[in-house]
């Protein structure tokens, strides 16, 4: 078995065993707390540019199957686990995590203390790191210096958004889905409700979107800092008040910025399938699936037309807003789950109902 190093920008070095691709890889190390759902995590575009650490100790025991991908091409830079199963046991399993990551040219490391790594991330925040071979010629000091001087990337969304529109036909409401790095779970939920979906790139203009005469607009999840997606912010600003909208994760942040709110970087983000969120309108608490490193500043909502609707019970941060005048609502978490609990799946039904109500109003005024 080949040995591999995970070197952090603070000089910490983890010694482990290599799996997946043989190449070296650099990225921001993050952790996610889900006990299951590693296949969806590997293929989630919101992890673009990141080396993902799983806090659950045993990963890979049910293998990789054909059905649970959230994107065709994974965007992670590396995969970190305590122990990797070489012999998965599940009737749906087609291959192992090791073989799948090798086929996608993604390196992994196992056998390190993931609890220690998680504590470092929790205390120091965003940490740049590199996965590289363990040999006598590795100059740790030079690598650490290079990591410290490497700027964080800012082009996440343009790397994972499609280059051209494509349809996912249905006979129900027409929805234009702006893809900032969409998980396929969002599209599946719209398809279940027979929506006639047109998926468009992140930089599609408001004029182009409205030319398709949508009944509603979905703003998808995606990776990175929402302030880097100025084209998306401008598009959404020009769509407010024109068509019902529903935003998820990065889509929630982009809509909030387009409405005049501010965002900020969380110390270590929210990633996993066990985050409690309270709906301030009903008092109901849902366990939610989350994957984001930024959040909307609640105090900045005061000077906007947005109303706070959901808060995270772990740290009190903003988890959802609703426009006071127009039929638009957004949430920071993932109601489509994939992986995670489906407590908030009903929000897709609320979106359908909102589009139907708007259509009824237009018919009355016609």
Task: Give the pLDDT score at 1.
Answer: 81
Among the listed ranges 131-135, 290-294, 301-305, 314-318, which one has the minimum average pLDDT value? Answer: 131-135
Among 40, 110, 319, 336, the one annotated catalytic: 336
Respond yes or no: is residue 249 known to be catalytic: yes
- CA nearest neighbour of 343 among 295, 274, 280: 274
pLDDT tens across 117-130, in order? Answer: 999 999 998 799 99
Look at residue 125 in the predicted model and tell me its pLDDT: 86
* Tokens at 15, concatenated: 């010694």
Sign of CA dihedral 40, 48, 286, 57: positive
Q: What is the reported pLDDT for 135?
A: 81
Ordered domains of the chain (ranges, CATH): 3-153 (3.50.30.20), 157-365 (3.40.50.880)
Least confident range from 81-85, 136-140, 242-246: namely 136-140
The answer to whether 334 is a known catalytic residue is yes
Told to judge if 9 belongs to the known catalytic residues of this protein, a careful annotator would answer no
**Identified catalytic residue from 184, 252, 275, 334:** 334
Catalytic residue among 28, 249, 275, 318: 249
299-344 pLDDT, tens digit per residue, is 999 999 999 999 999 999 999 999 999 999 999 999 999 999 999 9
For residue 125, cis peptide bond before it (omega within 30 degrees of 0)? no
Please tell me the predicted confidence (pLDDT) of residue 314.
Answer: 96
Q: What secondary structure does DSSP assign to 35-84, as a single string?
A: SS-HHHHHT-GGGTTEEEEE-SSEE-TT-B-SS--SSSS---SEEEESEE
């Amino acid at each position: 078995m080949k040995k591999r190093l995970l070197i952090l920008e603070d000089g910490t070095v983890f010694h482990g065993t290599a799996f997946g691709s043989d190449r070296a890889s650099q990225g921001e190390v993050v952790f996610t707390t889900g006990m299951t759902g590693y296949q969806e995590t590997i293929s989630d575009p919101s992890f673009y540019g990141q080396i993902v650490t799983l806090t659950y100790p045993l990963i890979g025991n049910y293998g990789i199957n054909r059905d649970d991908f959230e994107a065709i091409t994974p965007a992670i830079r590396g995969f970190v686990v305590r122990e990797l199963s070489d012999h998965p046991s599940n009737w749906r399993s087609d291959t192992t995590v090791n073989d799948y990551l090798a086929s996608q040219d993604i390196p992994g490391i196992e056998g390190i203390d993931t609890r220690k790594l998680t504590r470092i991330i929790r205390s120091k925040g965003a940490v740049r790191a590199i996965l590289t071979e363990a040999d006598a010629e590795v100059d740790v000091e030079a690598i650490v210096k290079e990591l410290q001087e490497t700027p964080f990337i800012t082009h996440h969304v343009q790397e994972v958004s499609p280059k051209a529109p494509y349809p996912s036909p249905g006979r129900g409401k027409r929805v234009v889905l702006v893809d900032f790095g969409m998980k396929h779970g969002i599209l599946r939920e719209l398809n279940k409700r027979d929506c006639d979906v047109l998926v468009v790139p992140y930089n599609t203009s408001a004029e182009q979107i409205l030319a398709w005469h949508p009944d509603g607009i979905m703003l998808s999840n995606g990776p990175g800092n929402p302030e880097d997606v100025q084209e998306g912010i401008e598009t959404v600003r020009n769509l407010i008040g024109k068509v019902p909208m529903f935003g998820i994760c990065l889509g929630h942040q982009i809509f909030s910025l387009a409405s005049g709110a501010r965002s900020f970087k969380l110390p270590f983000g929210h990633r996993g399938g066990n985050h409690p969120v309270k709906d301030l309108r009903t008092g109901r608490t849902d366990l939610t699936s989350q994957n984001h490193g930024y959040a909307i500043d609640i105090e900045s909502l005061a000077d906007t037309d947005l109303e706070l609707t959901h808060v995270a019970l772990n740290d009190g941060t903003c988890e959802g807003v609703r426009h006071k005048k127009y039929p638009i609502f957004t949430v920071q978490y993932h109601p489509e789950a994939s992986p995670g609990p489906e407590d908030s799946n009903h929000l897709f039904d609320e979106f359908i109902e909102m589009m139907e109500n708007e259509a009824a109003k237009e018919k009355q005024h016609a």
